[in-house]
Chains A and B, each alone.
Chain A
Amino acid sequence: MRSTALNQDETGKKGAVPVRRTLALWGELFALSWRRIPAATAATLSVLLLGVPATTGIALSLRTAVDGITTGDHDAAVLGTVCAACAYAATRTLNHIGRSLMIMSTEKIGLTDIHEGIHRDIATLEGLEHLERTDYLDRVTTVRTSAWAIVASMWSAIAIFTDVLQLVVLLLLLGTVSPWLLLLLPAAALPLWANARGQRLVNAAETDTAEYHRVQRHLFKLGTRAATGKEIRVAGAGEEIVRRQSAAFGVVVDGRYRARMRAAWLRAAGWTVFTLGFGGGLALVGHRTAQGLGTPGDLVLTITVAAALRQSVQQAVTRAAGAIDAMRLIGPYLWLRSYAADQRARTTGTAPSPDALREGITFTNVSYVYPGTERRALDGISVTLPAGAVIAVVGEFGSGKTTLVKLLSKFYRPDEGRITVDGTDLTELDTDAWRARTSAAYQDFGRFHTVFAQTVGLGDLPHIDDRERIAEAVLAADAESLVARLPDGLDTQLGRELGGVDLSEGQWQKTALARASMRREPLLFVLDEPTASLDAPSEQAIFQRYMDRARTLATRTGAVTVIVSHRFSTVSGADLILVLDKGRLTEHGTHEELLALGGRYADLYGIQATAYAAS
C-alpha cells in the first residue's frame, strides 16, 4: 500500500490536513459507525478497551500469586494464579478477535457508506473538471480507492488511544509499588519518541524510493507481458530490462534498509536508556524487598510490567504509522467532499427541456479556457445549429472539436458568451432533464465489462432489459453480425478477466454506437469520431443508417445531430460543416461551399483526394 504512494510531493503538501479537521473526521466516522452498525462498533470498541484491564490484570494477579507462594498463603496463591490464567487467556483471545472485528467494522462502513459516498461525489458532479484536470484527477485517483484506509485510520486512532492508556496505567501500577518508580513515566517518553522518529525515517525512505519501486515494477511488467515482450525481443532489450529492473530494485532496497537500520539504532538507544533506568527501579524495588518494605510479588509485578511496556509502545507506534499514512488520503478525501459541495451549490438550472426543437441551438460568442491552462480551447464561436440539421465539426487535433461537444452536453460551462436551446440558456436548463434528451457516442466511450445486452441497454436505463429495443439499437450500429458471432449472443459476458470474451477496438466502438441508439427521442445526438476503428463496409452501413436516423429524428423532435471527425473526407454529406482551427471557427458551410471557398477545408480535403486520384 505504502509503496504506491504516488505523487507524494503534490498530494503530500495539499494533503497536510490540520489535526483538528482530522480529529473531526474521525469523530464523524465513529458516530456514523455507531449509528449504522452499533453491535459491531460496540464489540470492536470493547475488545480494544478490555485489553487494558487484561494486561494490567496479569501483572496484578501474578503479584498476588507470588506473594501467596512465598508467604505460604495457599488461598492467595491459588486465587492469584487463577486470575493470572484468566488474564492470560483473555489477552490472547482479545488479540485474536480484535483484529478481525476491526477489519469487519472497517469494511462495513468503508465499503458501503464511505466508498459509495466517494463514488457518488465523483460520478454525479455535473462537470468533468475533476476528471480531466490533471491536478484534480491525481486527487480523485488517490481518493477513489481510499475508503477502507480512511475508516481504518479512525480505528487505528482509537487503538492508539488504548495503547497509550495502557502505557499510562502500567506505569501508574508501578507507582503503587514505589512512588519513585513514577519517574519511569517521563523516561518512557524516550523509547516512544525514538520509535516514532524511526518510523518517520522509514516512511520517508519509502516515499523517497517510491519512484524507483514503480520503475522496477514497470520494467518487470514490460518484460513479462506478451504485448510488450514482442518488441523487447526484437530490439534485443531483454538483458537491459533485467539489468535496470535489478538496479532499480537495488536502489529501493538500499535506501529502505539504511533507513530501517537507522531506525533500529534509534529504537535500541531509546530502549537501552529506558532499560538502564528500569534496572535502577528494579534495584530500588529489590532494596525495599530486602529491607522487608516490599514483597517478592512487587518484584514480579515490576518485571511483568517491563515486558508489557515494549509491546504497548511498539503497537502504538506501528498503528500511528498507519494512521499517519492515512493522512495522505484524508487530505484528498476532504478536498473532494468540499469540492463536490461547492460544485453542487453552483448548479442552478431548473428549466425543463423542450419537447422538440423548433429553432435550434445557438452559440453566441462562446469562449472557453480549460482551468489551469492559458490557451482558449474555444475562442469566440458564434453559429447556429438549426433544428433538424446534421452538423459536421472538423479540424485537426486540438482544434476544439471535442470541447464544443462537451459544452453542448453541459460538461463545462462557457467562460464567455452563451449557448441557447430554442432561446433558453443552456445553463438555465435542468442538467439531468437536458441530458435525458441527448444521446452520444464519444471518442473515449465506456468499455463496460458486463454482459453485451447490458452494455448496450445502459443507453436508456428505463429500457435496460428491453430486448426488442436493444436488438434495434444493435441493428442501428450494424452490430448484428458481431452479436451473432458471440458465444452467448446478447448474453455474452465481456472481458476475459471476468471469464468473458475480449472485443476488438472496432467491436467496442459498435457497442458504443448501439448504446447511443437506445434513446428514441433525443434533441441532441452526438457522434464524436464514431467510426475510427471500424471496417469499411460496416462504416458505410453505419454512416448511412445514422444519416437516415438523423433525418427521422429531425422530423420527430427537430433533433440536431453533431458528427465530429478529424478526417475531412468523412462528412461531406452534412447539412453544415464547421471547420475549427485552434479554437476558432474559421469556415462553415456545405461541402460544396467550402470547396468553392478554397480555404483550409479544401486544402486538407485535397491531400487525400490526390492519394486516390484516378490512375
Chain B
Amino acid sequence: MNRLNSAQPSQRSPHSPLTRRIALLRPLRTVPRPLLAGISLLLLAQALLPAATAVAMGQLVGRAERLTGDGVLGGLLWPLAAFTVLLLAAHLLESFIEPLEWLLKARIVGAHRAALLRRAVSVPTIGALEQPRTQQLVQAASADPENWTERTPADGAAAQLRFISAACGFVASSAVLAAFAWWAVPVILLPVVALRIRFVGRFTELIRQWLTRADRAQQGGVWAEAMTSPSTGKDVRTFGLAEWMLVEQRRHLLGMFEPLWRRTVHASWENIGHGMVVLGCLLAVFVPAAASGADGTQSAAVATAVLSAGWSLVSLVDYADGRDVAGASAAIEATEELEKLLPVPDDAAALPAGRVPRQGTKMPDGPLHVRFEGVSFRYPGTERTVLDGLDLEIRPGELLAVVGLNGAGKSTLIKLLSGLYEPTGGRLTANGTDLADLTPDAWRRRISVVFQDFVRYELSAADNVTLGQAAVPREETALEAAARDAGLTAVLERLPHGWDTPLARSRTDGVDLSGGQWQQVVLARALYAVHTGSRLLVLDEPTAHLDVRTEFDVFDRLARARGDDTSVVLISHRLSTVRQADRIVLLDGGRITESGTHDELIARQGAYAEMFAIQAERFRRGHEDRIEEGEYGIA
C-alpha cells in the first residue's frame, strides 16, 4: 500500500474515510487551546441555532393560535423575546466566527509552512532537494494554493470542525422532527446524505479532470507568456508571431475548457434533478405535518416547527467541504512523503549515509589545508562516475584555479567541498580532520562559496551581504570593509536608504540592481564571510556574464582584499583569467590530470597548453576568448 502511495500520490487516499478525517484534525494540535475551544463552541452554538429557531417558531405559532385577545402581547412576549435573542445570536456568531476561523487557519498555515521550511533548510545535503519529486511535493505541501483545487491543511481542519458541529446540529434538528414523527427523519436525511455523497464524488471527479487537463493550460500558457513577456517581444515582432500564437493559445485553452463546460451544463441538469428529489422529501414530510396541524391531530406548534426544522436539516448538509477534504488530504499526504524524503538531522538514524557527525567538533581558526583523498562520486540514481579517485590539495593561502570542459565535474567538486553532497568513496580532510567528522555548521563557517546562480534576497542591502555568513552576529566593521573592498560603496551611496534599501523593486522604497551591481553585492557577501572567519573562498564562474573591464576590476579587488591566510578556489572557463592563479589544475575524466603554474603547464605541452593555444589563437583571429562546454576534446 505504501509503495502504491509513493508511486501514485494524492490521487486517491489509501486511508478509510474515518482515518482520513482524523488525519485532517491533526493540524489543530498547533493551535492555541483557548482559540480552538472558543471557535469550537461558537461553531457548535451556530449549528444548534436552526433547531432552537424551529422550536421558538413553533412555540410562537402555538401560543398565537391560543391567543385570548386581551393584553398587549398576550402570551407572545416570551417567544418573541426568545426569537429576537436567537436572531441576534445568529448575527453575532456569524460576525465573530469569521475572524476567529480565519485566525485558526492562519495559525495552522503559519506553523505548517515554518515547519516545512525548517525541514527543507535543515537537511545538510542538497541531493534530496534537487530531486524533481521533492520539488513537486514541496509545491503540493506548501499550503500556498496556486489553483482552485489546492487546499491547505488548515482548510481541511476547519472543514472537519464544521463537519463535527454540523453533525451536532443535525441531531438537534432531527430531534425536533422526531417530535412530529420518527419516520420524518430518515425520509429527509437518507436522500440528502445520498445526494451529498454523489455530489462530492462528482466534484472529486471534476477536480481530477481539471488537473489532467492542466497541461493544456500550461501549453497555452507558453504562448500567452511569449506574447506578453518583455524578453520575447522582439522575437514576436520580428518574426510576426502574434496571430499564430493567439490561435495556438486558443486551441489549447479550448481543449482544456470545452469538456469542462459541457460538464457544467450536464451538472446543472443533474442539480435540477437533485432539487426534485429534495422537493419530494420535503413534500413527504411537510404535507402530512401541515395537514395534521390543520386537522388538529397535531399541535400547530409542532407542525410549524417541522416546516422549519425539515428545511434546516437539508441546508445543514454542507457540500463545500468536499473540496476542502480532498485538497487538504493531498497536502497532508505530500507533507508526510516529504518528511521521509527530507529527514531532519537530529533524526540521526535517517541520515543518508547512516553516519553520525561528532557533534561539537570545532574547526580552529587560521588557514586551512584541504585535501581530497581518493574521492569518488556518483549522483544518486545515476550510473556515471563523475569523480573517480580524485586527489587534490588546496594549500593555505593559495589561489587555485580548476579548469576543465563542461561535464568534467567542476560543479560537483564544489558541492563536495562545501558538504552539499557526501563522497561515495574516499574522503575530504581539512587540516587533517575528516569533514565527515565535523558538523556541517562548523565546516561551513570556514568556507564561503560564490555560486553562479547566487541568491538575490529581496531584503535590505545589508542583509544581502551579511547573509553570506549568517551564523555569526552582524559585524559592522566587517560589513563596511567588505563593501569597500568589493567596490560596493559607490552603489550604496546611490541607494535611497543606503544599507537599509531593499534590493527589489517590489518592496517599499526598493531598488532593482543591474547584473553588474549584483555581482558586486555578491562579491561583498563573499568578502564579508572572509572578514568573519571564512578561510576558503570558492568562486564558480564568478565573472561569466561580465564584460572585460568589470571582470578585471573584480579580480583585482579580490586579489587585494583577501588576506594571505585565505585560500581561493577559482572555477573558470576563461583561461586569460585563470593564468593569474598560483596553481592551475586540470580536471578531466573525474581526476586531476595536470597541475602546475601557467608557465609550467604551457611548458608541459599537455591538454591545458592546447586549450590555451586554441583560445589565444581564437583571440588573435578576433573570436570569443572563452572555452566552454561541448564536444571539444571528446572528439
Question: With A and B bound together, what is the CA distance between A218 and B457 in angstroms?
Answer: 8
Provide the residues of chain A in CB contact with B471, threshold 8 Å: 236, 239
Provide the residues of chain B in CB contact with A242, threshold 8 Å: 114, 117-118, 121
Chain A CB count within 10 A is highest, among B235, B444, B448, for: B235
Contact, CB under 8 Å: B80 / A282: yes
Contact, CB under 8 Å: B92 / A82: no
Q: Assuming the A-B contacts A116-B246, A231-B455, are A101 and B506 also in contact, with contact meaning beta carbons closer than 8 angstroms in the complex?
A: no
Contact, CB under 8 Å: B620 / A612: yes
- Our pick among B72, B144, B444 for the contact of A220 (Cβ within 8 Å) is B144
Question: With A and B bound together, what is the CA distance between A283 and B77 in angstroms?
Answer: 8
Contact, CB under 8 Å: B114 / A249: yes
Chain A CB count within 10 A is highest, among B91, B231, B276, for: B91
Contact, CB under 8 Å: B576 / A608: yes
Q: Say if the beta carbon of A228 comes within 8 Å of chain B.
A: yes
- Our pick among A100, A214, A253, A279 for the contact of B80 (Cβ within 8 Å) is A279
Query: What mask results when residues 503 to 538 of chain B are scored 1 for a CB within 8 Å of chain A, else 0?
Result: 001111000001010000000010001000000000
Q: Say if the beta carbon of A496 comes within 8 Å of chain B.
A: yes
Contact, CB under 8 Å: B307 / A84: yes
Q: Assuming the A-B contacts A220-B117, A236-B441, are A88 and B76 also in contact, with contact meaning beta carbons closer than 8 angstroms in the complex?
A: no
Contact, CB under 8 Å: B250 / A116: yes
Contact, CB under 8 Å: B69 / A292: yes
Provide the residues of chain B in CB contact with A608, threshold 8 Å: 548, 576, 619, 625
Q: Say if the beta carbon of A137 comes within 8 Å of chain B.
A: yes
Provide the residues of chain A in CB contact with B84, threshold 8 Å: 275-276, 278-279, 282
Q: Say if the beta carbon of A168 comes within 8 Å of chain B.
A: no
Question: With A and B bound together, what is the CA distance between A283 and B241 in angstroms?
Answer: 72
Contact, CB under 8 Å: B627 / A96: no
Question: With A and B bound together, what is the CA distance between A603 and B626 in angstroms?
Answer: 20
Contact, CB under 8 Å: B261 / A448: no
Contact, CB under 8 Å: B418 / A498: no
User: Would you call the interface of chain A mostly helix, strand, loop, or mixed?
Assistant: helix
Q: Assuming the A-B contacts A89-B275, A257-B103, A569-B623, are A101 and B224 also in contact, with contact meaning beta carbons closer than 8 angstroms in the complex?
A: no
Q: Assuming the A-B contacts A69-B290, A249-B114, A458-B239, are A229 and B215 also in contact, with contact meaning beta carbons closer than 8 angstroms in the complex?
A: no
Query: What mask results when residues 593 to 631 of chain B are scored 1 for a CB within 8 Å of chain A, else 0?
Result: 000001100100000000000111011111111111111
Contact, CB under 8 Å: B271 / A296: no
Contact, CB under 8 Å: B222 / A449: yes
Contact, CB under 8 Å: B67 / A290: yes
Contact, CB under 8 Å: B440 / A612: no
Q: Say if the beta carbon of A445 comes within 8 Å of chain B.
A: yes
Contact, CB under 8 Å: B264 / A222: no
Provide the residues of chain A in CB contact with B552, threshold 8 Å: 607
- Our pick among A107, A119, A257, A536 for the contact of B618 (Cβ within 8 Å) is A536
Q: Say if the beta carbon of A467 comes within 8 Å of chain B.
A: no
Chain B CB count within 10 A is highest, among A131, A257, A461, for: A131
Q: Say if the beta carbon of A534 comes within 8 Å of chain B.
A: yes
Provide the residues of chain A in CB contact with B20, threshold 8 Å: none
Question: With A and B bound together, what is the CA distance between A217 and B65 in angstroms?
Answer: 63
User: Would you call the interface of chain B mostly helix, strand, loop, or mixed?
Assistant: helix
Provide the residues of chain B in CB contact with A6, threshold 8 Å: 506
Count CB-based A-B contacts (< 8 Å): 508
Query: What mask results when residues 98 to 116 of chain B are scored 1 for a CB within 8 Å of chain A, else 0?
Result: 1100110011001001101
Q: Assuming the A-B contacts A77-B290, A249-B113, A439-B238, are A236 and B303 also in contact, with contact meaning beta carbons closer than 8 angstroms in the complex?
A: no
Provide the residues of chain B in CB contact with A424, threshold 8 Å: none
Contact, CB under 8 Å: B129 / A432: no
Provide the residues of chain A in CB contact with B377, threshold 8 Å: none
Q: Assuming the A-B contacts A235-B444, A397-B516, are A299 and B60 also in contact, with contact meaning beta carbons closer than 8 angstroms in the complex?
A: yes
Contact, CB under 8 Å: B548 / A568: yes
Interface residues of A in 428-479 (CB under 8 A from B): 432, 435-436, 438-440, 442, 444-450, 458-461, 464
Q: Say if the beta carbon of A227 comes within 8 Å of chain B.
A: yes
**Nearest CB on B from A259, distance (A):** 9
Question: With A and B bound together, what is the CA distance between A265 and B95 in angstroms?
Answer: 7
- Our pick among B229, B290, B618 for the contact of A68 (Cβ within 8 Å) is B290
Question: With A and B bound together, what is the CA distance between A218 and B507 in angstroms?
Answer: 12
Query: Which of A20-28, A300-308, A347-355, A580-588 faces chain B?
Result: A300-308
Contact, CB under 8 Å: B630 / A535: yes
Contact, CB under 8 Å: B628 / A100: no
Q: Say if the beta carbon of B180 comes within 8 Å of chain A.
A: no
Contact, CB under 8 Å: B99 / A257: yes
Contact, CB under 8 Å: A515 / B99: no
Interface residues of B in 227-252 (CB under 8 A from A): 227-246, 249-250
Q: Say if the beta carbon of B296 comes within 8 Å of chain A.
A: yes
Query: What mask results when residues 495 to 524 of chain A are scored 1 for a CB within 8 Å of chain B, else 0?
Result: 111110000101000001001000000000
Provide the residues of chain B in CB contact with A92, threshold 8 Å: 275, 278, 314-315
Contact, CB under 8 Å: A278 / B87: yes
Q: Say if the beta carbon of A572 comes within 8 Å of chain B.
A: yes
| Closest chain A residue, CB of each to CB of B105 | A253
Question: With A and B bound together, what is the CA distance between A442 and B453 in angstroms?
Answer: 22
**How many A residues touch B, CB cutoff 8 Å?**
182
Question: With A and B bound together, what is the CA distance between A103 and B294 in angstroms?
Answer: 45
Q: Assuming the A-B contacts A65-B307, A89-B278, A268-B96, are A70 and B626 also in contact, with contact meaning beta carbons closer than 8 angstroms in the complex?
A: no
Interface residues of B in 424-460 (CB under 8 A from A): 440-441, 444-445, 447-449, 451, 453-455, 457-459
Q: Say if the beta carbon of B132 comes within 8 Å of chain A.
A: yes
- Our pick among B303, B445, B505, B598 for the contact of A69 (Cβ within 8 Å) is B303
Q: Say if the beta carbon of B287 comes within 8 Å of chain A.
A: yes
Question: With A and B bound together, what is the CA distance between A271 and B289 in angstroms?
Answer: 34
- Our pick among A73, A123, A128 for the contact of B245 (Cβ within 8 Å) is A123
Question: With A and B bound together, what is the CA distance between A607 and B576 in angstroms?
Answer: 10
Q: Say if the beta carbon of A566 comes within 8 Å of chain B.
A: yes
Contact, CB under 8 Å: B99 / A85: no
Contact, CB under 8 Å: B279 / A85: yes
Question: With A and B bound together, what is the CA distance between A499 and B574 in angstroms?
Answer: 35
Provide the residues of chain B in CB contact with A403, threshold 8 Å: none
Contact, CB under 8 Å: B455 / A228: yes
Chain A CB count within 10 A is highest, among B96, B232, B545, B622, for: B622
Chain B CB count within 10 A is highest, among A69, A128, A228, A261, for: A69
Provide the residues of chain B in CB contact with A233, threshold 8 Å: 121, 124, 126, 418-420, 440, 444
Q: Say if the beta carbon of A180 comes within 8 Å of chain B.
A: no
Contact, CB under 8 Å: A272 / B91: yes
Contact, CB under 8 Å: A260 / B98: yes
Question: With A and B bound together, what is the CA distance between A85 and B65 in angstroms?
Answer: 23
Q: Assuming the A-B contacts A226-B129, A253-B107, are A571 and B307 also in contact, with contact meaning beta carbons closer than 8 angstroms in the complex?
A: no
Question: With A and B bound together, what is the CA distance between A260 and B71 in angstroms?
Answer: 45
Contact, CB under 8 Å: A611 / B576: yes
Contact, CB under 8 Å: B231 / A604: no
Q: Say if the beta carbon of B478 comes within 8 Å of chain A.
A: no
Q: Say if the beta carbon of B365 comes within 8 Å of chain A.
A: no
Q: Say if the beta carbon of B554 comes within 8 Å of chain A.
A: no
Contact, CB under 8 Å: B117 / A459: no
Contact, CB under 8 Å: B629 / A504: yes
Q: Assuming the A-B contacts A116-B250, A232-B121, A536-B626, are A69 and B300 also in contact, with contact meaning beta carbons closer than 8 angstroms in the complex?
A: yes
| Closest chain A residue, CB of each to CB of B144 | A217
**Nearest CB on A from B346, distance (A):** 14
Query: Which of A150-158, A359-367, A368-376, A538-546 faces chain B?
Result: A538-546
| Closest chain A residue, CB of each to CB of B258 | A108
Q: Say if the beta carbon of B185 comes within 8 Å of chain A.
A: no
Q: Say if the beta carbon of A62 comes within 8 Å of chain B.
A: yes
Given contacts A244-B459, A515-B239, 17 further A-B contacts (CB under 8 A): A6-B506, A100-B267, A123-B245, A131-B230, A220-B142, A245-B113, A253-B106, A272-B91, A289-B76, A296-B300, A299-B61, A396-B547, A440-B234, A464-B244, A572-B622, A604-B548, A611-B579
* A/B interface sample: 28 pairs, CB < 8 A: A69-B304, A71-B294, A74-B294, A85-B283, A90-B275, A96-B274, A112-B250, A122-B228, A123-B242, A211-B506, A219-B117, A224-B129, A228-B453, A229-B120, A238-B470, A241-B117, A242-B121, A245-B114, A260-B103, A263-B99, A286-B64, A299-B64, A300-B61, A439-B238, A444-B231, A445-B235, A448-B226, A612-B619
Top 3 closest pairs, chain A to chain B, by CB: A572-B622, A238-B121, A93-B275
